[in-house]
């Protein structure tokens, strides 16, 4: 099974609402990263949080990390139609140089 | 600034044929990765490289080979293509984390491979 698992698999919300998606992982990490993928395109890096950090902000994005629970959450505030995409968490494993992705959350912003 | 470039973008193969996907990056990154993306499976790591002349296995390496003869290029080879290798392949590169760098990945636009 994969190192990272996002929850929920799919999420539909009204424009202007906040979107929260979660990521759980299994082994120790150097850092955890969130990426966005628009349909048919490559992934784009959104934000990185190191294992010794608990919370990080970037514009409308807020990421938290709980290493004791091996989980992270991504909050997108004041969602926009352009936020419609798939979001993936990726863990940079402590034991080696692998970066392992979860299965992603498909976010759909309703007008 | 091209970033990460993958060639070809589309390819159709017959079962048993071989082919090579090329990934080129112009950012002087040490680390390079090959992933495959299948519906409902997210991205799975095939092979990766932490520097010129080095390669390592990822999560799903069987049926693939890689080479990193030059720092800027990372080649993914399919020796004998199978229908199960029909997928979208993504290459990514990054600096080594540390020395002021965070290790975030920069992705190419993907190569869509169909094996009949």
pLDDT in tens, A21-30: 999 999 999 9
Q: Enumerate the β-bridge partners of residue A110.
A: A14
Residue B40 near residue A103 (C-beta atoms within 8 A): yes
In this complex, the residue of A40, A42, A98 whose CB is nearest that of residue B58 is: A98
Contacts of A98 in chain B (CB under 8 A): 45, 48, 58-59
Given a cut of 50, the residues of chain B with pLDDT beneath it are: none
Cis peptide upstream of residue A8 (ω within 30 degrees of 0):
yes
- DSSP, collapsed to helix, strand or coil, labels residue A27 as coil
Contacts of B103 in chain A (CB under 8 A): 30-31, 48, 92, 99
Shortest distance, CA B33 to any CA of chain A (angstroms): 9
Across the interface, whether the CB atoms of B56 and A44 are under 8 A apart is answered no
pLDDT bucket at A69, cuts 50 / 70 / 90: very high
DSSP B18: -
Express each pLDDT in A53-66 by its tens digit.
999 999 999 999 99
């Amino acid at each position: 099974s994969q190192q990272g698992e996002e929850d929920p698999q799919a999420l539909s919300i009204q424009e202007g609402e906040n979107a929260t998606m979660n990521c759980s992982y299994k082994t120790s990490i150097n850092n955890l990263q969130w990426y966005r993928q628009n349909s048919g395109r490559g992934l784009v890096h959104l934000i990185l949080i190191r294992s010794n950090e608990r919370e990080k902000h970037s514009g409308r994005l807020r990421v938290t990390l709980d290493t004791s629970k091996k989980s992270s959450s991504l909050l997108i505030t004041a969602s926009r139609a352009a936020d419609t995409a798939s979001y993936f968490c990726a863990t940079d494993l402590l034991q080696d140089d692998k970066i392992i992705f979860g299965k992603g959350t498909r976010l759909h912003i309703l007008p | 600034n091209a970033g990460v470039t993958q060639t070809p973008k589309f390819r159709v193969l017959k079962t048993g044929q071989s082919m090579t996907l090329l990934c080129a990056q112009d950012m002087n990154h040490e680390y390079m990765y090959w992933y495959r993306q299948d519906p409902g499976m997210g991205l799975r790591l095939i092979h990766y490289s932490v520097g010129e002349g080095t390669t390592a296995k990822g999560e799903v390496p069987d049926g693939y080979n890689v080479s990193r003869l030059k720092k800027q290029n990372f080649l993914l080879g399919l020796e004998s293509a199978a229908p199960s290798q029909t997928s979208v392949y993504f290459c990514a590169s990054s600096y080594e984390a540390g020395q002021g760098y965070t290790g975030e990945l920069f992705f190419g636009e993907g190569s869509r491979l169909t094996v009949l």
